[in-house]
Structure 1
Amino acid sequence: MSRKKQIQRLQRFCEHIAQKTERLEEYSHRYSWVRGVTFFAILAFGYFTSGAINDYVYVFGILVGIIGFLYLADRHQKVHKAIEKLGYLKEVKQQHIARLQLDWKGIPKRRYDKDLKDHSFANDLDIVGNYSLHHMVDTSLYEGGSQKLLNWLMNEFPVEEDIMQRQELVQDLIPLQAFRDKLSVIGRYTQSHTSEKDWTEKQMLVWLRQPERTGYKLPLLILSGLSVSTLTMATLAWIGMLPVIAPLASLLMYLSYYKLSSDKIAGLFDAAYQMEKMLGRFRELLLHVEEFEVSNKQSLAQLLKVFQSAETKPSVYLRKVEKLTGAASLQANQVVWPLVNLILPWDMYYSMKMEKLKKEFEPRLTEWLDTFYELEALNSLANFGALHRAYTFPELTNDSEILFEAKELGHPLIPANQKVTNNFKVEEGKDLFLITGSNMAGKSTFLRTVGINLCLAFAGAPVNAVALKTNLFRVFTSINVKDSLEGGLSHFYAEVRRLRTLLDKLGNEEELPLFYFVDEIFKGTNNRERFQGSTAFLKEIAGKHGVGMVSTHDLELASLEKEIPELSNWHFAETIENGRMSFEYKIKEGPCPTTNALKIMKMEGLPVE
């Protein structure tokens, strides 16, 4: 399906959702009207028939009216919920359209505060931040899922087994559009009903991982004995066999000891309340995954086993937790709670049960959340693949002759109507590419195109190519080097330090070979020193443990092809017709035959000699 047809299909789906929402809103208005009529009918029945009909008929009529009103309220609530979820489904589909059109305003922003200046490639290849690959691909609703996806995209040491496993899972998930969208809708609905006071998943895990409080048995034994003693003495005092002072003394001892042991029940209500709230939020999400039929997708079935196995599935533990937290939340009832604890060590008993539950529940919740976050990250890649059907899954090889080969390779962050694709191949022994070309001809973009597709490939995602096969590489870039006022570094010195890091990484032959990208080498210094430095650097890196692409404006460097066997010249060129400049953005063999700096200056009215 073409991109245009996909957009039209999604737009029709949004229109269908809007029509369905209108019908449900009509139902909602009717329910509101009927509920109002029912309420006043109950009041009228109660007022006008009081004392005029048989008491049993009167009570029966009131009960029927109340049950009918509650039924209508429940149905009305379900309609409201359906309307809200349809709104979120429309939002999901609209974001699909925005991702296809690269309409950044329609794609939720992803916040990332860590400093990436020392990362091997994330900043230069637009992996993270606004208008980045992560921004475009990530459909996660939870921080854990978003972070896991980012870790895959930023992985500096790819592992073939992990990549192949993710590829298989993404391929299993691509056809499951309804499953992915429903998961997203449930998540959005759940988050919209979350209070700022509610614990996050991290806070819940921190609480569950606290050291287990012990020493409950002796206080429970003593309190139980005092409770039985108080009740027995109270009974005997009531029938006149003991003075009233006896049960009062026993009760005072019970309350005093309860007070001394209060540290063991501290935080019970808050913890029970927060656990109940969090499980309520995640319940529908977990059950949706638990009840989903995987059919013949073995990799996906293995991933979801933790949700669907009889021993570990959430529904079993949710019932157990809800039963306990319900009892432990008795403190919410300020009338019943004091009376119960006055005669029974209720809070003490359920604090002990809660401590045991923490020990049992923590590993389960940790496993569910870790797997759910992985599923969210995989769903992001699957959605990326579903929206870009022309993209392909790369083939990972260990070829000793062809190290990298791509057909119609494009940049996924360039709009389709502006994108130009290229074929590119790296062969053993010819693995250093010197790319020359005029300003704006496409050198930097091509370096980023190869780099960003390697990141997609090693994350387990489809790549923007008709076909791509590659060996495993570490990726390193020196493209968007920035100076540092705080550190007192000039642009040139910052670039020198970056290239020093590149040499160090190339010297480590115990790790994977490096695929490195250097844009406008030594552009921060004068022509003579830039040429000398670039010449020495290219000679140094040639034949080292990796593949390199280096762009430059210095056409004189093209002569190094005669001195460096591993180096080959490539270029991007432009044409000027009728005073207008046009670019083909196609990479070609050989050094660039033209320059355009003076032409651009002249076209813009600057003096040129």
Structure 2
Amino acid sequence: MEQAIINNYTEAAALAKQEANKYKELANTYSLLRLGIFGLMIFSVYLTIVQDNFTIMAIAFVALLAGFAWLVSRQGEYERQRDYYLDLERINLNEINSLQSNTNLYSNGQQYSNEKHFYSSDLDIFGNASLFQLINRAATSTGNNKLAAWLNAPSDKPTVLLRQEAVKEIAIKNEWKKELQTLLLFSNDGDVNRLNSLFKYLHLPLNLSGEKWLGKYAKVAPYILVAVIVAALFFPIAKSLATLIGLVNMGIVFSKATYIKKADMIADKIGKMLGNYAGVFNKIETQEWGAAYTNTLAKKLKDDKTSEKIKELSELINKLNYHLNVIVGVILNVFLLWDIRQIIAIENWKRNNCENLEEAFDVIAEFEALISIAVPAINYPEWVYPVIADTEGYTVSAKNIAHPLIRSDKRVDNDYDLKDAYNIDIITGSNMAGKSTFLRTIGINAVLALSGAPVCASAMEVSVITIVSYMRIKDSLNESTSTFKAELDRLQMLLAAVEHEHRVFFLIDEMLRGTNSMDKYLGSKAVIEQLISKKGVGMVATHDLQIARLEDKYPDYVRNYYFDIQVQNGEMLFDYKIKYGECKTFNASLLLKQIGINVGEE
């Protein structure tokens, strides 16, 4: 099945490349035609000189300038289409890379790493080779933030169910998903301040002095100048008046040069960006949505006509940029006070439309997060949507559950069943037998489940729980913290969470390893008994068989599971399968023997 999915992406990438090449050739053709227009302009000058007839050049320049402008417009459109299909090719190739090597052109979320978080560090939620790296398809900083927030904390059942419905809909709209990613790819450059700069610009008034009378004059100025020019055809004295009006218009524009430059410096950076976002908003607005979640999000944009408004602002900013061509800029400002008109129009737009824009861009972030958690449904169709349980006790039950960050040809699945109960499961076993991986498997799939995503299992049912892990405990030279002190801090956090957080499900891997064996056993036993007294629920992986004896003391609360090994001809064989009961086979002496250390008997 995976190969079929890769083949689909490969075919789509090839088609996108083909389209990109087509538009590249068209853009090159129109570029040559522009050179032809330039050549004709030179030829018209030659004819004007030879024929001594200025009318030839006047007519030729008007016609050729119009043709040149049309060619520039068409070439620009073909270049946009070329770039779009090149980005679409990148999107498809990225999915192939993700499936084959777990690489991703989007952020791996390293900026969200936090070793003091309840579980994100232990469960590889962020950073290199993480869950975030596997599923993230958010290009904007707000989209990344949204997805990180969903993975950092469980959502309530109604929210999870709404997201599941939305993910199912997006999963069957994979072409639409890829097209939206393509439109947003320009934002995948790590510029976390892009949108903040935009919002700041939209809320910051230009405070153009004399704006009201300038706006009124700019409307009538072209009519006055044209009327005087027409009058000059009959009354030569009017030529001087026309020249004077033109100079006055340019003087007005120059007197506001500081304001124009201020608007230009900021607007020039965001004009193209706004045009890109207008396409994104339009893509969301024009799609038919059946899921309640996606329909509500899209309706916000439709009701506010967001894509139209953003496109309008983009066009206003692009019109302001006409003055970058000196000749065109002078003509427009002489006749129309062009720069004044545009900055006033931009300011009017800002006053009328900037209030709800943050909410509109948050809709894009929501869609990016939804697209990201839909990635498993598209790329791994064998994964399932978990059932969100409403049981009074804890429910974490799964069939054929496996770790999503281990390749499908290498991972081993297991079953686990905790249904409407309060239990602590003690998991014993040999080194490298699979205890830690199993704890992480349960944890990372629970994180996926409670974000609204499918899980790596054939079936799963889970309550809304808060995962708290105790696994990778490290000392800290910066904080002058020993390993044992770090363990105590983590234990204190865990015990406080069990008492105060909602439905904590803990994952403990080899408790108190930073002390001697006797203190380790006594301390671990005391912690587990305290967790039992607090009605704590979760798993404890340990090498200490004495901990397994707690099942005798608390038969209704403690359950024993184990991972074992088989030794054949001195070789260790791991099946990575969880079994009920206590582990009887350990492998430390065998592992030491493999590196040349023989462990003798006392």
Task: Give the match for residue 481 of structure 1.
Answer: 473
Task: Give the match for residue 498 of structure 1.
Answer: 490
Task: Give the match for residue 238 of structure 2.
Answer: none
For 2:162 and 2:339, the matched residues in 1 are separated by: 48
Equivalent pairs counted in the alignment come to 576
Contact map agreement 1:430 1:568 (CA 8 A) in 2: no
For 1:419 and 1:265, the matched residues in 2 are separated by: 62
Contact map agreement 2:551 2:558 (CA 8 A) in 1: yes
Structure 1 letter corresponding to 2:143: G
Task: Give the match for residue 523 of structure 1.
Answer: 513
For 2:212 and 2:265, the matched residues in 1 are separated by: 21
| 1:108-163 alpha-carbon deviations (Å, 9 max, x no partner) | 443533561221111111011111101111011111101100110011x5322222
Structure 1 letter corresponding to 2:81: A
Aligned partner of 2:282 among 274, 279, 287: 287
| 1:73-110 alpha-carbon deviations (Å, 9 max, x no partner) | 54444443333222211211111112222x14454443
> How far 1:3 moved relative to its partner?
1.3
For 1:429 and 1:10, the matched residues in 2 are separated by: 44
CA-based RMSD of the aligned residues comes to: 4.3
Task: Give the match for residue 206 of structure 1.
Answer: 200
Structure 2 letter corresponding to 1:289: I
Contact map agreement 2:505 2:538 (CA 8 A) in 1: yes
Contact map agreement 1:572 1:592 (CA 8 A) in 2: yes
Contact map agreement 1:430 1:567 (CA 8 A) in 2: no
Contact map agreement 1:441 1:573 (CA 8 A) in 2: yes
What SS does structure 1 have at the residue aligned with 2:133? helix
Contact map agreement 2:429 2:562 (CA 8 A) in 1: yes
> How far 1:220 moved relative to its partner?
5.4
For 1:301 and 1:528, the matched residues in 2 are separated by: 60
In the alignment, structure 1 residue 606 sits paired with structure 2 residue 597: yes
1:541–1:93 distance in 2 versus 1, CA, 3 Å: same
In the alignment, structure 1 residue 533 sits paired with structure 2 residue 519: no
Task: Give the match for residue 308 of structure 2.
Answer: 315
What SS does structure 2 have at the residue aligned with 1:282? helix
Structure 1 letter corresponding to 2:524: S
| 1:393-431 alpha-carbon deviations (Å, 9 max, x no partner) | 111111236622111111110011101111101144551
> How far 1:443 moved relative to its partner?
0.4
Aligned partner of 1:432 among 424, 432, 455: 424
For 1:204 and 1:502, the matched residues in 2 are separated by: 42
Task: Give the match for residue 182 of structure 1.
Answer: 179
| 1:295-354 alpha-carbon deviations (Å, 9 max, x no partner) | x44432211112222x443304642x3576578779868899999999999999987776
For 1:523 and 1:208, the matched residues in 2 are separated by: 56
Contact map agreement 1:171 1:382 (CA 8 A) in 2: yes
1:406–1:195 distance in 2 versus 1, CA, 3 Å: closer
1:80–1:278 distance in 2 versus 1, CA, 3 Å: closer
1:215–1:547 distance in 2 versus 1, CA, 3 Å: same
In the alignment, structure 1 residue 378 sits paired with structure 2 residue 370: yes
Contact map agreement 2:275 2:311 (CA 8 A) in 1: no
Structure 1 letter corresponding to 2:13: C
Task: Give the match for residue 573 of structure 1.
Answer: 564
In the alignment, structure 1 residue 302 sits paired with structure 2 residue 281: no
Task: Give the match for residue 165 of structure 2.
Answer: 168
> How far 1:589 moved relative to its partner?
0.3
For 2:168 and 2:435, the matched residues in 1 are separated by: 33
For 2:415 and 2:74, the matched residues in 1 are separated by: 59
Q: 5 Å matches for 1:391-402?
A: 391-400=383-392
Q: 5 Å matches for 1:77-96?
A: 77-96=76-95
Task: Give the match for residue 502 of structure 2.
Answer: 512
Contact map agreement 1:140 1:380 (CA 8 A) in 2: yes
For 1:453 and 1:349, the matched residues in 2 are separated by: 57
Task: Give the match for residue 235 of structure 2.
Answer: none
Task: Give the match for residue 110 of structure 1.
Answer: 108
1:141–1:67 distance in 2 versus 1, CA, 3 Å: same
Structure 2 letter corresponding to 1:120: F
Contact map agreement 1:127 1:134 (CA 8 A) in 2: yes
For 1:206 and 1:32, the matched residues in 2 are separated by: 38
1:572–1:172 distance in 2 versus 1, CA, 3 Å: same
For 2:296 and 2:479, the matched residues in 1 are separated by: 49
Structure 1 length as normaliser, TM-score?
0.82
Aligned partner of 2:350 among 344, 355, 358: 358
Structure 2 letter corresponding to 1:137: I
1:318–1:25 distance in 2 versus 1, CA, 3 Å: closer
What SS does structure 2 have at the residue aligned with 1:581? strand
Task: Give the match for residue 239 of structure 1.
Answer: none
Q: 5 Å matches for 1:344-355?
A: none
Contact map agreement 2:13 2:89 (CA 8 A) in 1: yes
For 2:113 and 2:209, the matched residues in 1 are separated by: 48
Structure 2 letter corresponding to 1:574: I
> How far 1:608 moved relative to its partner?
2.3
Identical columns (%): 27
Contact map agreement 1:216 1:352 (CA 8 A) in 2: no
> How far 1:571 moved relative to its partner?
0.5
Structure 1 letter corresponding to 2:381: R
Q: 5 Å matches for 1:219-258?
A: none
What SS does structure 2 have at the residue aligned with 1:476? strand
Contact map agreement 1:573 1:594 (CA 8 A) in 2: yes
For 1:187 and 1:324, the matched residues in 2 are separated by: 22
For 1:223 and 1:459, the matched residues in 2 are separated by: 52
> How far 1:50 moved relative to its partner?
6.4
For 1:32 and 1:345, the matched residues in 2 are separated by: 31
Aligned partner of 1:131 among 123, 129, 132: 129
What SS does structure 2 have at the residue aligned with 1:179? helix
For 1:338 and 1:32, the matched residues in 2 are separated by: 25
Task: Give the match for residue 242 of structure 1.
Answer: none
Structure 1 letter corresponding to 2:418: V
Task: Give the match for residue 422 of structure 1.
Answer: 414
1:397–1:139 distance in 2 versus 1, CA, 3 Å: same
1:358–1:66 distance in 2 versus 1, CA, 3 Å: closer
